[in-house]
Structure 1
Amino acid sequence: MTTLVKSNGLGRQGLFPEFPDFFDDLFTKDLFHPAGKLSGVLPAVNVKDTEQNFILEVAVPGMDKKDFKVEFKKNMLVISARKENQSEEKDKEGKYVRKEFGYQSFTRSFTLPEDMVDGDNISANYKDGILNVTIPKKEREKTRSKEIEIG
């Protein structure tokens, strides 16, 4: 007895459509070049909204702080990174058995509320695989209460 599953034409494609992407990746990707899997992947970003700041936490392990570029123009924050890796293996005679080059890059853009952020005081730091970008909010004018006389 078999179970038939109706397809709407939008289903998964691949060697094992009933299993997660892991199986397709395992059996169809080059297992000897795991860095290739990283290309084209955008890092995960957490965005916190505190009383005084917006804080972005970008998960980018394996990078150095020199690999990043953070720019703010008008109301757009652009975070980009680029890293080149090289690995090689030699046999006993010093001849190459395998030599691989890896390249990672990404660009993420965030539109910020123009009237709410202090673009001149944005700061960033990179520690333990997390890029933290702190975007201070502009101080809001304190609202004054004024009684209006009714005439």
Structure 2
Amino acid sequence: MLPKAHFHNSYYQSIPAVNVKESETGFEIEVAAPGLKKENFKLSLHENRLTISAVQEQQQEEKTEKYTRQEFNYNQFQRTFTLPKNVDGEKIEATYTDGILHVGLPKKEELKPAVKEIAVL
């Protein structure tokens, strides 16, 4: 099971809901973040800490005869997860579909002791 997530947020109305699932072959993190594009996400792995962040910039412009008004709005969040040592960091994959970011965290294959046959001479 993944340890508790440490998270930071700023400029975002709410922290996205996160589900963590474990199977025999790995873990999956699901982040509910509708309205974003895959380009808005950044994932980074440092040692055994996975950081998922997203930034979305929205620009609104209103023009009339007498004035022009522009507003910039930034939505951003960041969550950091401490991963178990049995996660294979080289094989982490992420996809974004239907407003949900899916992060696949496969487990390392267990190294089984080699069996060696010894011939009797």
Q: TM-score range by the shorter chain?
A: 0.7 to 0.9
Percent identity, please: 51
Residue 81 of structure 2 corresponds to 110
Summarize the alignment of residues 15-94 of structure 1 with structure 2, pairs less than 5 Å apart.
39=12, 41-91=14-64, 93=65
Once the two structures are TM-superposed, the CA of residue 39 in structure 1 deviates from its matched residue by 2.0
User: What's the secondary structure of 1:120's corresponding residue?
Assistant: helix
User: What's the secondary structure of 2:52's corresponding residue?
Assistant: strand
Deviation >6 Å, runs of 4+: none
Give the TM-score normalised by structure 2: 0.76
Once the two structures are TM-superposed, the CA of residue 99 in structure 1 deviates from its matched residue by 3.5
Give the TM-score normalised by structure 1: 0.62
| CA offsets 1:15-54 (integer angstroms, 9 cap, x no match) | xxxxxxxxxxxxxxxxxxxxxxx72521110000011110
Larger radius of gyration between Structure 1 and Structure 2: 1
- Give RMSD over aligned pairs: 2.1
CA distance in 2, matches of 1:89, 1:51: 54
Q: Is residue 119 of structure 1 aligned with residue 89 of structure 2?
A: yes
Amino acid at match of 2:92: I
Q: Is residue 101 of structure 1 aligned with residue 72 of structure 2?
A: yes
CA distance in 2, matches of 1:119, 1:72: 8
Summarize the alignment of residues 7-18 of structure 1 with structure 2, pairs less than 5 Å apart.
none
CA distance in 1, matches of 2:16, 2:60: 23
Moved more, 117-126 or 67-76: 67-76
Structure holding more strand per residue: 2
Task: Give unmatched runs, 5+ long, in structure 1.
Answer: 1-37, 144-151
Residue 7 of structure 2 corresponds to none
Once the two structures are TM-superposed, the CA of residue 142 in structure 1 deviates from its matched residue by 4.8
CA distance in 2, matches of 1:94, 1:139: 67
Task: Give unmatched runs, 5+ long, in structure 2.
Answer: 1-10, 114-121
Instruction: Say which structure, 1 or 2, has more relative contact order (CA 8 Å, 6+ apart).
Output: 2
CA distance in 2, matches of 1:132, 1:75: 18
CA distance in 2, matches of 1:142, 1:41: 45
